[in-house]
C-alpha cells in the first residue's frame, strides 16, 4: 500500500491560485491536472473560495474541466465521486490541524507530504476492488475497511 512517492511541490501562492482558478475557469491544460493539482485546488477552494461548497460543487467543476480538455466522465474514466469526497474530507482534516497563519503554498506543500496527500491514502479505508468499482466512481460508497 505504501508506494514510493515524491510529490511535486508548488513554488509560491500564485502557482496554487493559478491551479485553483484554472480548474474553475477550465483554463488549465490536461497535463496541469496532476494529483498535486487536485489537492492544491481542493485546499485553495476550501480556504479562498467560500462561496464554493467543495462537497457539492467540486464534482461538477471537475467534470466540466475533464470535458473541456476532451475527457469523458463515465463508469470507467474521468471523474471519480468517492475518491473526490474522501480527499475533500482528508484536506479538511489536514487543515483542522494546520497553522492557519501559514502562507497558502506552505499549507499545500505540507498537505502533499502528509498522509492525506499520498496517492494511496484512500486505500487505508477502501479495498482496491471497492474503491475502483463502477459504483464508487459514479456515487459515494462507504469505506469497507475503516474511516
Can you spell out the DSSP letters for 10-79? -SSHHHHHHHHHHHHHT-S-GGG--HHHHHHHHHHHHHH-TTS-HHHHHHHHHHHHHHHTT---SSSSS-
* Residue ranges per structural domain of the chain: 13-138
Question: Over the stretch 113-140, which tens digit does the pLDDT of each residue have?
Answer: 999 999 999 999 999 999 999 999 999 9
In this prediction, residues 73-92 reach a mean pLDDT of 98
This prediction's pTM = 0.94
CA distance 12 to 85: 26
Q: Are the C-beta atoms of 44 and 103 separated by less than 8 Å?
A: no
Q: Which pLDDT does position 5 carry in this prediction?
A: 72
In this prediction, residues 107-112 reach a mean pLDDT of 98
pLDDT grade, residue 146 (50/70/90)? confident
Question: Over the stretch 6-52, which tens digit does the pLDDT of each residue have?
Answer: 899 999 999 999 999 999 999 999 999 999 999 999 999 999 999 99
Amino acid at each position: 500500500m505504501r508506494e514510493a512517492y515524491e510529490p511535486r511541490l508548488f513554488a509560491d501562492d500564485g502557482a496554487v491560485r493559478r491551479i485553483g482558478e484554472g480548474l474553475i475557469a477550465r483554463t488549465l491544460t490536461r497535463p496541469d491536472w496532476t494529483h498535486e493539482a487536485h489537492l492544491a485546488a481542493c485546499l485553495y477552494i476550501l480556504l479562498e473560495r467560500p462561496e464554493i461548497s467543495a462537497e457539492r460543487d467540486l464534482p461538477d467543476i471537475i467534470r466540466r474541466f475533464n470535458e473541456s480538455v476532451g475527457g469523458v466522465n463515465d463508469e470507467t474514466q474521468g471523474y471519480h465521486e468517492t475518491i473526490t469526497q474522501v480527499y475533500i474530507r482528508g484536506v479538511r482534516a489536514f487543515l483542522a490541524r494546520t497553522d492557519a497563519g501559514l502562507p497558502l503554498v506552505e499549507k499545500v506543500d505540507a498537505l502533499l507530504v502528509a498522509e492525506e496527500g499520498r496517492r494511496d491514502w484512500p486505500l487505508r479505508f477502501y479495498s482496491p476492488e471497492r474503491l475502483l468499482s463502477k459504483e464508487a466512481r459514479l456515487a459515494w460508497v462507504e469505506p469497507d475497511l475503516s474511516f
